[in-house]
Each structure stands twice: as C-alpha cells, then as structure tokens.
Chains A and B, each alone.
Chain A
Amino acid sequence: MNLFQTIFTGSNQAVSAAEGLLKQAIEQKGRDHKVAFPDTAYALPVIYAATGIKITTLGELEGAIGIVKSLIVEELQLTQALNAGLATAVSAEIIEAIKYAMNETPYEAPCAGHISDPIIRSLGVPLVTGDIPGVAVVLGECPDSATAAKVIKDYQSKGLLTFLVGKVIDQAIEGNVKMGLELRVIPLGYDVTSVIHVVSVAIRASLIFGAVEPGKLDKHMEYTKNRVPAFVNAFGPLSELVVSAGAGAIALGFPVITDQVVPEVPTLLLTQKDYDKFVATSLEARGIKIKITELPIPVAFAAAFEGERIRKED
C-alpha cells in the first residue's frame, strides 16, 4: 500500500473507533454527560485550537466526529495526507476524552495521561530559554529494554523532555530509567491514542505562550513547527493507525524517526536502523543543537536530574 493510502486507512480506523466508543458512551451516560480533561482551561485542547469550539458534553463530541470525517479526503496529495493525520489526532483526543468521561481516573501510575495546564506553564520558561532543548516522543516497543533505556537516558542526559507511549514504558522501567516530571521523562499511557496528551501540550503551548487564536489551525501549526522543538521516535512494527498519527505529527512540524522500513521523506519521516545513532539522527532532524560541556564524572549530569530525590535505600 502506498504511504498516503496507509495514512488514510489509519485515519479511518481512528475515526470509526472514536465513533464506536462515543456511541457506547452516549448509550451508557447520555448525550448531556460531561466531557473534560482535568485542570485545563482549554476544554479539549486540540479541537479547541483547531475549531475554536469548547466541547463540554458527549453530545457535542458527535459534532467533532463530523469535523474529523471532513478532514479525511482520500486524494493522493500531501495536503490531504497531513489533514488525515490531523484527523487521527482529533480522533485520538475524542477517544481519550471519552476515557476521562467514563472513568474518574483512567490513568494510574506510572502513566500520566492528560497533562495539566499548570505543568505546561511550568515547562514554558525552560522551553523558551532552551534549558529544555527539545521534546522527544518515544512510542512503541524497542527491540529490548536496554536499547529503550539507552535512548531515553541519552535524551534525559541532554536535558530533553521525553514522553513515553506504549510498551516502551515497561521497557524503560525495566531499564531502570528514573521517571517523573522533574526528571523530564513522562510515561503517558499504553494506548497509541494517549500520544494525544503530548500533542495537547504542544497545542496549548501555542494557545498559552504563542497567544494564537483558537480556530486558527494554520497559525497553530506554524507555531508548533517553529517554536516547539518536538520529534517522534516510533519503535517496532507500525500499524496504519500509528503511521496516520505520525502524519499528524508531521503536520505539526514534528519529524518522525523510526526503526522500521517506511517510505522516507527527507527531514520528516526517516528510517534509522542503527539504535546507537537514533538520538543523533533525531536531534539533527529537528535541528536541535545542544551545547554540551561534558564533565568527566562517573554519573549522568544534566538539568533533568535537578529534581531527583535520593531515597534512603539508594
């Protein structure tokens, strides 16, 4: 299947999954049931940024499904492929919103799920000053936990903020990666759709720090492309859904680097099979330059370890 068709397939899967879940949710809770993410002033941030509409009930989500469908136009051109990627992002947000609507605490440790506004605000300054030089979204499953830990620790030692999605979370734990906001490694969730919680961070950065008007999707995409130095590392076999989500990342200006064979797009969608070069490849692709003064000390040294707590048993 050609790349764009793969994206469309994934987008259609995403929207029908969202539609199915929504139908179930409405049957169980009714159309007036409240929908919201905790601690945010931006309702469902991706939908809000894209359309200017604040969704508050399950019933209103039905309208959002219509928006998603209108974004999927199966013409084989980049514009349509990127729009389909955005459609997947919106579908993911709908699915995640339903999770929160149906369950008080859909996410439990170690997973963070939705990231609150205060946390984003706290990240704003170090992002602007370059103290956080980049945002890595690591998703899928590495060939082994040692590889996962190596890549994640490398980002950590370079001061990047790393979000984890999927089995790589378990691999990171197994690889003794220390996690937490202050350590700049945040596991989001095991479902692919939980990746939307990092998209939501980027989009809220545009709303909060960029003061971009809600509804001006183009301007938001311009902001994320130019100002949010994020990129995606997708490990392991890629489903159509993941490829389609990747198109959403590319639409926001975030390159995707994978260990799988895909039709490459220079600077945007790259295959790197050498795990030792994964970090360097990713930083180059996003144009992240890190000023490093490496100190010859036996432990990792970086701002990411500033908030670390040394427990008694350590």
Chain B
Amino acid sequence: MSDQFISIYQTSEEQLLEKAVQDGVETMWDRKAAMKAPCGFGEKGICCRICAMGPCRISPVAGKGAQRGICGATADVIVARNLARMVAAGTASHSDHARDIAHVMHMASRDGNFKIRDEKKLLDLASEWGVKTEDRDIYEVAHEVAEIALNEFGKPFGTLRFLERAPEKRKKVWDDLQIRPRAIDREIATILHSTHIGCTGDAESLLHMSMRTALADGWGGSMIGTVFSDILYGTPVPRETESNLGVLDEKQVNIILHGHEPSLSEMIVMASLDPEMQKLAKKVGAEGINLAGMCCTGNEVTMRHGVKIAGNFYQQEMAVLTGAVEAVIVDVQCIFPSLVPITECYHTKFITTSPKAKITGATHIEFHEDRALESAKAIVREAIENFKNRKKEKVFIPTEKSSGVVGYSVEAIIKQLDKVVNPHIDPMGTIKPLADVIKAGVLRGAVGIVGCNNPKSKHDYSHIEIMKKMIANDVIVVTTGCAAQAAVKAGLTNKDARKLAGQGLATVCELVDIPPVLHLGSCVDISRIMTIVGEVAKHMDLDNSDLPVAGIAPEWMSEKAVAIANYVVATGIDTFLGITPPVTGSEEVMDIMTNRVEAMTGAKFFIEEDPHVLADKVLSRIEEKRQKLGI
C-alpha cells in the first residue's frame, strides 16, 4: 500500500513539477538547488551573529583556526545558544497560537460566533484549576478559566498549572533539575536574555534552560492550545476523511486552508456552509465550495469536521500548481512566502488574515475575531468570486487520494479502549487496556511520529518507512502534524492497514476497532501524546521514561519541531531525529543531547538520517526499556 503510495506520489509530483517548468514557476526544489552546498558553519551551528562584533564563526576542526568568537564564546556556547533560540522561537509560536485561542474563549458568548462546545471538558478544567462552577453560567466559568490561562503566559509567581497533570515521578525529575517552567512568555524572554552576548557561557546550562522553555510549550502553550480548542470547537471523535491533492475538485470552488489556528479555519468552515455562500458559488458557475486543509489547520478541521486534507507542508506549492485553487487562506506558521510569486502565475488568490503574518504581495484580509463569521464570509466571498478567473487550460489535478480515519483525541482513544473492557473486572473510561497490552508484550511499545517535511529527505518517505516498520513490529503509532498527513495519504490511518501490522498490533486493532496508525491532530496536539504517555505511566505507577515509548521526527524542519523535541525529551521520552540539527559543531552539546541528558531526564536524543536504521534503533531501544522493566 505505502510502496505504491510513494511511487504514485512521485509520479504525480513529477507531473506537477513538469507543469511548474512549463508554466515558468519556481518551486522549493529550484530554490534548494540554487542554494548549492549549504554553509558548513551554519550547518554545524558554529556561526554566531548575535552582536555587532560578529558575525563570528568557529573552525570545525579542533586546534585549527578560530576556536573562539570575538567575545570568547566557544563552539559549545555558540551551538547551545543557537539551539536555545530555536527552542525559544518554537515555544513562542505554539504559545502565541494558544494565547489567541484563550483570548477567543474569553470572548465566547452564548449568542456569539464562538461558543463553548465541550462543556464537560471546560467544567473538568475549571475544577482542576479551582474555579467555582456551581450555579454559574457556563460562559462566566469559561471567561474565568480563560483569564487564568492567559495569566499562564505572564504570571509573576509559581509554575505552570498543567505540569500537575504529569506523573508524580516526572514532577520530581523536573523539580530536581529545576526545570519546571514558570510563565510561558517569561521562559522565552529568559532564553533570549541568556543567549545575549556576554550572558550564559555554559552549554549545559543553556540546554537546561532550553528544556525548561520547551516544557513551557508542551505542558503550557501547546496543551492550552489543544484543551481550549477542544472546549471551543469540540473534542475530536473518529471520523473518515480523504487526503492528497486528488481531493481538489475541478467543478467546485477550491479553497485551501493553510496555517495553524483553528479560530480562523473553524469560522471558514462555518462560512462555507452558509447558504448565502453556497448560493454565490452556484451563481459563479461552480457546483459548490470545496474546502481542503493543509498543514496543521488542515489537521484541526479534519479532526473536528472531517474536512479533506489537500496535503502536507511541502505540498503547499503543488496545490497552487494544479491551477484549480481559487484561494489559499492562511493565518500563521509554515506558510511559504513563495506562495506570492507562485499564485501570481495562476488565478489563485493568496489571502493572509493575521496581523502576525503579513506577507508582501499577498491579499491581506484581516480576520477579526470579534466579528468572526462576518470576517470569514468576506474572505470566502473573495475566493468564490475568483472562480470565474480560473484558467481551464492551466488546470491539472492529480487523481491520487486516500481515505483514512482521523479524530483520535485522548477521550476518543479511551472510548475505543472501553470496547475491550470486561465490565465484570474493570471500570470503563481508563487507559488500562493500553497499559495491559504493553505490559503483556502484545504491543511492544508505542511511538509518536510527528514533524514536518524537509527537502533534505525524500518527502514523506521517512515518515512512511518508519511507520511501516513500527507497525510491522507490533509498535503502535500515534501521529500528528505533517507526519499524520503523510500517513493518511499512504493509507496507514485506514483500518485496513492493520494487515501491514504484526499479529500483536493487528489483533489489538481488530479488537479495539482502530487503524494501526492513529491521527491525533495538529502539532499543538502533541500535548495529547504527552497526556496519554503520562496516563499510562500513572496507571503503572512508573515514570514516562520507564515506558517502552519513543518520539520520532523523521523529516523535521521548523523551530517548533526543535521545541517539541526538547519537551519530549524533558518529559522522559527518547526522541529520534531524522534530520541532523545544527549542533554537530560542538562535541559537548552532542554529548549532552545524545548521552548525558539521559542521566537527567531518563531520555535522550538519537540522530539518524537513514529511516531504516533509525527504525531499528527505535525498536532496540524499546526492547531495552522493556527489559529494564522486566516486561
């Protein structure tokens, strides 16, 4: 199934790239080629430009050439500083995303566009945070909870509330290392402070700070993002979807939703279902409005509404190359500025909506949350009216698409697990069945496969190869982000894919009625993975780092991925990187990341660019952890 996927995929991609040449369009591949060989200093992380005495660069050869920057910073310090700033940027991205959602919840009202859709989740959170709920209007509760969340970003005292959700043993690790994050923005600011010229000059200390900041993402920003999105837009439940560029429809107005924040995409979904918009679409000669998601915003709307997925990160240009897209509506994060020149070659409107991510040359129609639906309709109207400008002779839509099941929130997974609970023995609604199959060895372990696409790797190839190897070896896969979209495209989130799984996982899939690869959502939804691992650890009275689990980022690219990897390791989960981070210029940093950090957090980084070798390493590490546990 997936071998076929890779080759089919390559074929249609080649066709689109040929089309790009014919249409005179430049793509990321052209730009990658134009880069020629990357700068070796930047690649190794030993180039520093944080002050005006520089730029400085350190010789990659010990004892030869410049060994220190002008200020005296060693390669170790420079590499650690650069890495720390990547973590800060990643954390800032996820956190600003979360902040907006908390703001939206603060403005939610019974008769407004934004409503409380999962009251139970809100009430549970309210009681977790000590907010009174009795005899109170649900919106009053929501506003108070939202305010508490907003304070998590900048409160002057204490540490983050969601950290309390972790297993006791993990909390102790954080306490011992003194890496419990305080306020989210504060940790980001502290990193920027400490990486200023003449501040921290110790690699290990910088990596500690990086972990603390990253935890402010995973157990702060991202977790707020996920929990609040569920409260506002509904906690996902399993549903069917389709993915790949074949979901674009020649006869309809095709709108690509690209970016991250569900506040916009939710409203666009509502707007596109509006009878007025539907009528307008018919009026311009289309059969309807065809929404297709891309990247994480695509994941958000597919998890909650089954909106089809056009593709993942690297397909954003490809989608425009089809010539069939009326509008690419974006908000923030992972949006190629190249969508400006590429959309100019077609009729496609490239619409930016967030003041946080304006792009020169794009049509900016600001999304106003206080009049969200109206705002969304204005954007959709722009797309519909563009249908008439489509140039038929320029349209080429590849036919490939796959179906799959998405929508596996933690709640949905536990509900599936209830299917195998014997009511005469155990209560419903617990993680026990999962812990049991792991303990017994029917499942050897569980991995989270996440991350981006990166032109350094054959796109989606590493994602799929690693997923296949995991499931064939009875390791269940949970996935988010662009890795998840690769899985849907490859058919791995289809229940039929259990035939590619080992007998243990296949049996579990059959009994629980799930596919072998579970789509858990967007990149902020990696917090769902942290939650599941934590619940299993609590159930078994263990720490996360004792469990046979791993995180894998086969084709990572963004600074968000760096923040994620750091909080995953700090949470006690081994992290395997399929793309080498810019740290190889420091033996010290390499040693901490791939070795010494294990003594601190019980987990470490593995860097391995060959997906097959990486998969073998994951499997042997899983067995190593099992052996330690005696299971």
Which residue of B421, B422, B623, B630 has the most chain A CB atoms within 10 A of its CB atom?
B422
Tell me if A63 is interfacial: C-beta within 8 Å of chain B: no
B626 near A266 (CB under 8 angstroms)? no
With beta carbons under 8 angstroms apart, the residue of A78, A274, A280, A281 that contacts B442 is: A78
B422 near A281 (CB under 8 angstroms)? yes
Given the complex of chains A and B, what is the CA–CA distance between A258 and B420 in angstroms? 17
B631 near A266 (CB under 8 angstroms)? no
Chain A 270-296 near chain B by CB (<8 Å), digits 1 or 0: 111010010011001100000000000
* Given A78-B474, A277-B424, A263-B441 contact (CB < 8 Å): yes
Return chain B residues, CB-CB under 8 Å to A2: 441, 626, 630-631
Given the complex of chains A and B, what is the CA–CA distance between A195 and B501 in angstroms? 32
Chain B 415-434 near chain A by CB (<8 Å), digits 1 or 0: 00100111111000000010
Return chain A residues, CB-CB under 8 Å to B504: 77-79
Tell me if A182 is interfacial: C-beta within 8 Å of chain B: no
Tell me if B308 is interfacial: C-beta within 8 Å of chain A: no
Which residue of A78, A280, A285 has the most chain B CB atoms within 10 A of its CB atom?
A78
Tell me if A4 is interfacial: C-beta within 8 Å of chain B: yes
Chain A 187-231 near chain B by CB (<8 Å), digits 1 or 0: 000000000000000000000000000000000000000000000
Return chain A residues, CB-CB under 8 Å to B421: 266
Return chain B residues, CB-CB under 8 Å to A144: none
Tell me if A55 is interfacial: C-beta within 8 Å of chain B: no
Closest beta carbon of chain A to B571's beta carbon, Å: 25
Given the complex of chains A and B, what is the CA–CA distance between A285 and B444 in angstroms? 23
Which residue of B504, B511, B623 has the most chain A CB atoms within 10 A of its CB atom?
B504
Given the complex of chains A and B, what is the CA–CA distance between A264 and B441 in angstroms? 10
Interface residues of A in 1-26 (CB under 8 A from B): 1-4
Tell me if B521 is interfacial: C-beta within 8 Å of chain A: no
Closest residue of chain A to B507, judged by CB? Answer: A78
- We find that the number of chain A residues with CB closer than 8 angstroms to chain B is 25
Given the complex of chains A and B, what is the CA–CA distance between A2 and B423 in angstroms? 26
Chain A interface helix/strand/loop/mixed: mixed
With beta carbons under 8 angstroms apart, the residue of B423, B440, B502 that contacts A269 is: B440
A3 near B440 (CB under 8 angstroms)? yes
Chain A 238-280 near chain B by CB (<8 Å), digits 1 or 0: 0000000000000000000000000111110111101001001
A285 near B422 (CB under 8 angstroms)? yes
Tell me if B19 is interfacial: C-beta within 8 Å of chain A: no
With beta carbons under 8 angstroms apart, the residue of B425, B502, B511 that contacts A77 is: B502
Which residues of A are at the interface with B, using a C-beta cutoff of 8 A? Answer: 1-4, 76-79, 81-82, 263-267, 269-272, 274, 277, 280-281, 284-285
Given the complex of chains A and B, what is the CA–CA distance between A270 and B437 in angstroms? 11
- Starting from the known contacts A76-B623, A285-B422, 19 additional A-B residue pairs (CB-CB under 8 Å) come to A1-B630, A2-B630, A3-B441, A4-B441, A77-B503, A78-B503, A79-B503, A81-B441, A264-B439, A264-B440, A265-B437, A265-B442, A266-B436, A267-B422, A270-B422, A270-B425, A272-B424, A277-B424, A281-B424
Return chain B residues, CB-CB under 8 Å to A284: 422-424
B441 near A78 (CB under 8 angstroms)? yes
Q: How large is the interface on B (under 10, 10 to 19, 20 to 34, 35 or more residues)?
A: 20 to 34
Interface residues of B in 265-306 (CB under 8 A from A): none
Closest beta carbon of chain B to A283's beta carbon, Å: 9
Given the complex of chains A and B, what is the CA–CA distance between A41 and B249 in angstroms? 64
Which residue of B437, B439, B440 has the most chain A CB atoms within 10 A of its CB atom?
B440
* Given A77-B473, A81-B441, A264-B424 contact (CB < 8 Å): no
Return chain B residues, CB-CB under 8 Å to A272: 422, 424-425
With beta carbons under 8 angstroms apart, the residue of B424, B433, B474 that contacts A266 is: B433
B425 near A271 (CB under 8 angstroms)? yes
B623 near A266 (CB under 8 angstroms)? no
6 shortest A-B CB distances, which residue pairs?
Answer: A78-B504, A266-B420, A281-B424, A263-B440, A79-B503, A266-B433
A82 near B503 (CB under 8 angstroms)? yes
Interface residues of B in 617-631 (CB under 8 A from A): 623, 626, 630-631
Closest residue of chain B to A82, judged by CB? Answer: B503
Q: List 9 A-B contacts (CB under 8 A).
A: A3-B441, A81-B441, A264-B439, A265-B437, A266-B420, A272-B422, A277-B424, A281-B422, A284-B424
Given the complex of chains A and B, what is the CA–CA distance between A281 and B595 in angstroms? 48
B444 near A76 (CB under 8 angstroms)? yes
Given the complex of chains A and B, what is the CA–CA distance between A277 and B422 in angstroms? 11
Return chain B residues, CB-CB under 8 Å to A285: 422
Return chain A residues, CB-CB under 8 Å to B503: 77-79, 82
Chain B 423-466 near chain A by CB (<8 Å), digits 1 or 0: 11100000001001101111010000000000000000000000
Given the complex of chains A and B, what is the CA–CA distance between A272 and B421 in angstroms? 13
Closest residue of chain B to A279, judged by CB? Answer: B424
Return chain A residues, CB-CB under 8 Å to B474: 77-78
Closest beta carbon of chain B to A9's beta carbon, Å: 14
A266 near B511 (CB under 8 angstroms)? yes
Given the complex of chains A and B, what is the CA–CA distance between A3 and B631 in angstroms? 7
Closest beta carbon of chain B to A243's beta carbon, Å: 11
Return chain A residues, CB-CB under 8 Å to B420: 266-267
Given the complex of chains A and B, what is the CA–CA distance between A263 and B626 in angstroms? 14
Closest residue of chain B to A271, judged by CB? Answer: B425
* Given A2-B630, A78-B504, A82-B503, A281-B425 contact (CB < 8 Å): yes
Given the complex of chains A and B, what is the CA–CA distance between A264 and B511 in angstroms? 15
Closest residue of chain B to A79, judged by CB? Answer: B503
A76 near B441 (CB under 8 angstroms)? yes
Given the complex of chains A and B, what is the CA–CA distance between A293 and B433 in angstroms? 34
Return chain A residues, CB-CB under 8 Å to B631: 2-3, 263
Closest beta carbon of chain B to A184's beta carbon, Å: 23
Return chain A residues, CB-CB under 8 Å to B442: 78, 265
A77 near B444 (CB under 8 angstroms)? yes
B436 near A264 (CB under 8 angstroms)? yes
Return chain A residues, CB-CB under 8 Å to B437: 265-266
Return chain A residues, CB-CB under 8 Å to B511: 266-267
Chain B 493-535 near chain A by CB (<8 Å), digits 1 or 0: 0000000001110010001000000000000000000000000
Given the complex of chains A and B, what is the CA–CA distance between A103 and B503 in angstroms? 41
Return chain A residues, CB-CB under 8 Å to B440: 3, 263-265, 269
Given the complex of chains A and B, what is the CA–CA distance between A265 and B440 in angstroms? 6
A79 near B502 (CB under 8 angstroms)? yes
Given the complex of chains A and B, what is the CA–CA distance between A168 and B417 in angstroms? 34
* Given A270-B422, A272-B425, A263-B439 contact (CB < 8 Å): yes
Return chain B residues, CB-CB under 8 Å to A277: 424-425
Closest beta carbon of chain A to B580's beta carbon, Å: 31
Given the complex of chains A and B, what is the CA–CA distance between A4 and B507 in angstroms? 16
Given the complex of chains A and B, what is the CA–CA distance between A81 and B442 in angstroms? 9
Given the complex of chains A and B, what is the CA–CA distance between A3 and B442 in angstroms? 9
Given the complex of chains A and B, what is the CA–CA distance between A1 and B631 in angstroms? 7
Return chain A residues, CB-CB under 8 Å to B444: 76-77
Return chain B residues, CB-CB under 8 Å to A281: 422, 424-425
Return chain A residues, CB-CB under 8 Å to B626: 2, 76
Closest beta carbon of chain A to B400's beta carbon, Å: 33
Return chain B residues, CB-CB under 8 Å to A269: 440
Given the complex of chains A and B, what is the CA–CA distance between A277 and B424 in angstroms? 7
Given the complex of chains A and B, what is the CA–CA distance between A267 and B444 in angstroms? 18
Return chain B residues, CB-CB under 8 Å to A270: 422, 425
Return chain A residues, CB-CB under 8 Å to B507: 78
Given the complex of chains A and B, what is the CA–CA distance between A4 and B627 in angstroms? 12
A280 near B473 (CB under 8 angstroms)? no
Given the complex of chains A and B, what is the CA–CA distance between A284 and B631 in angstroms? 27
Given the complex of chains A and B, what is the CA–CA distance between A81 and B417 in angstroms? 23
Closest residue of chain B to A262, judged by CB? Answer: B440
Given the complex of chains A and B, what is the CA–CA distance between A104 and B423 in angstroms? 47
Closest beta carbon of chain B to A50's beta carbon, Å: 17
Closest beta carbon of chain A to B475's beta carbon, Å: 10
* Given A79-B504, A267-B511, A280-B436 contact (CB < 8 Å): no
Closest residue of chain B to A285, judged by CB? Answer: B422
Given the complex of chains A and B, what is the CA–CA distance between A264 and B503 in angstroms? 17
Given the complex of chains A and B, what is the CA–CA distance between A269 and B425 in angstroms? 12
Closest residue of chain B to A83, judged by CB? Answer: B503
Given the complex of chains A and B, what is the CA–CA distance between A217 and B511 in angstroms? 22
Closest residue of chain B to A266, judged by CB? Answer: B420
Closest beta carbon of chain A to B624's beta carbon, Å: 12
